[in-house]
């Protein structure tokens, strides 16, 4: 049974902004992590996972809605982003979705489940969607449902998966390390952030004009201006480019499909997404019919932020339909 499709794609009328919720810091091993929370203790937890270059503040139009509808809302800044620590290759060899899933799993166990009952719902945008899928695949007992909006992974776009010989993969990985250590990110990032290049890059993620959205610009630019941002970006580029097969979306989805636990996954796509083509989403649901796809019209790569009212209503209805036994209407 499909949840009823909401009408309209206007911004959420509530006045909450990027500074939503109560801000906290959490010591996780060698790293410090920033996170936010909103809503009553004891309610079922929703954990928002941001996309590349964003942070917990990017859920500015969603957090209040889910808190008012009976959820305890969390959002975490993944290591390397937002106000969390930004380690470089000298402290951590690489940052990839398997590492971030490890972070999310620890956050669920150490923070979320101490205050809430019921399996958490992970809602991720872009990279956050991939991290959510990874967490469900690797730690299935911690996750009740996943919403990936959308699900990016270059491996999903390949028609044929051709495994590389070990020697060739090792050579490729070494070349990638050399390349990203040579690229002067310490010089390039400030140039991008202090010119119109950042506006062009941000606009490409949205279908509607974001010319007057100064808050969105601040959400992305402020963390990237930290002195530690270039080294963290270097660790991410190396990590995501040299991942093991077991960290790729095709492998993870197959792992979920063969698990004993019934998977509940919604993938949400903007029809005007310039970064991850809608064709990938359609291919996914054709190959895995148990995955639900919803398409947002006149929307780009960030449906939760560009069409928040429609996003919030549809996701809530989908959760109520698929987790009916533990989510009651308020």
**DSSP output for 26-45:** EEETTEEEEEEEES-TBSEE
Mean pLDDT in runs of 10 for the chain (330 residues)?
A: 50 65 96 97 96 98 97 97 96 92 97 87 98 97 97 82 77 90 94 94 97 96 96 96 94 94 93 97 95 98 98 97 63
Res 171: pLDDT: 87
98-126 burial string, b = 16+ CB within 10 Å, else e?
Answer: bbbbbbbbbbbeebbeeebebbbbbbbbb
19 Cβ contact list (under 8 Å, min separation 6): 57
Contact 44, 326 (CB under 8 A): yes
Q: Which domains does the chain have, with CATH numbers?
A: 22-322 (3.40.50.1820)
SS3 123: strand
SS3 190: helix
Res 41: pLDDT: 93
pTM for the predicted model, two decimal places: 0.92
Res 24: pLDDT: 97
Res 263: pLDDT: 86
Q: Nearest CA to 66 among 109, 23, 16? A: 16
Using CB atoms within 10 Å of the CB of residue 217, give its burial: 0 to 12 exposed, 13 to 18 middle, 19+ buried: middle
Res 330: pLDDT: 42
Contact 135, 105 (CB under 8 A): yes
Where are the alpha helices (H) located in 111-224, listed in sequence order?
Answer: 127-138, 154-157, 166-182, 185-193, 197-203, 214-224
Q: Which two tokens stand for residue 75?
A: 């959002």
């Amino acid at each position: 049974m499909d949840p009823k499709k909401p009408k309209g794609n206007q911004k959420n009328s509530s006045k909450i902004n990027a500074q939503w919720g109560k801000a906290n810091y959490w010591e996780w091993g060698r790293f410090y992590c920033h996170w936010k929370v909103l809503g009553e203790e004891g309610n079922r937890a929703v954990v928002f996972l941001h996309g590349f270059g964003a942070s917990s503040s990017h859920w500015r139009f969603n957090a209040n809605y889910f808190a008012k509808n009976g959820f305890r809302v969390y959002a975490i800044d993944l290591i390397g982003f937002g106000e969390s620590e930004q380690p470089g290759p000298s402290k951590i060899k690489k940052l990839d979705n398997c590492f971030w899933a490890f972070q999310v799993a620890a956050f669920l166990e150490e923070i979320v489940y101490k205050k809430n009952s019921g399996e958490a719902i992970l809602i991720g945008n872009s990279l956050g969607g991939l991290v959510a899928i990874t967490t469900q695949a690797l730690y299935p007992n911690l996750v009740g449902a996943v919403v990936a909006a959308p699900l990016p992974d270059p491996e999903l776009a390949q028609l044929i998966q051709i495994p590389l010989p070990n020697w060739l993969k090792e050579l490729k990985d070494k070349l990638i390390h050399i390349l990203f250590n040579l690229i002067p990110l310490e010089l390039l990032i400030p140039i991008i952030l202090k010119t119109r290049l950042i506006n062009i890059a941000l606009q490409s993620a949205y279908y509607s004009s974001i010319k007057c959205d100064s808050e969105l610009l601040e959400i992305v630019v402020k963390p990237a201006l930290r002195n530690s941002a270039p080294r963290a970006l270097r660790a991410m580029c190396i990590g995501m480019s040299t991942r093991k097969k077991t960290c790729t979306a095709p492998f993870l989805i197959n792992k979920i499909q063969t698990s004993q636990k019934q998977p509940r996954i919604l993938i949400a796509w903007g029809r005007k997404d310039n970064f991850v083509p809608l064709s990938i989403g359609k291919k996914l649901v054709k190959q895995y019919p148990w995955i639900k796809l919803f398409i947002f019209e006149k929307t780009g790569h960030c449906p939760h932020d560009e069409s928040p009212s429609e996003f919030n209503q549809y996701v809530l209805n989908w959760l109520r339909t698929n987790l009916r036994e533990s989510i009651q209407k308020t």
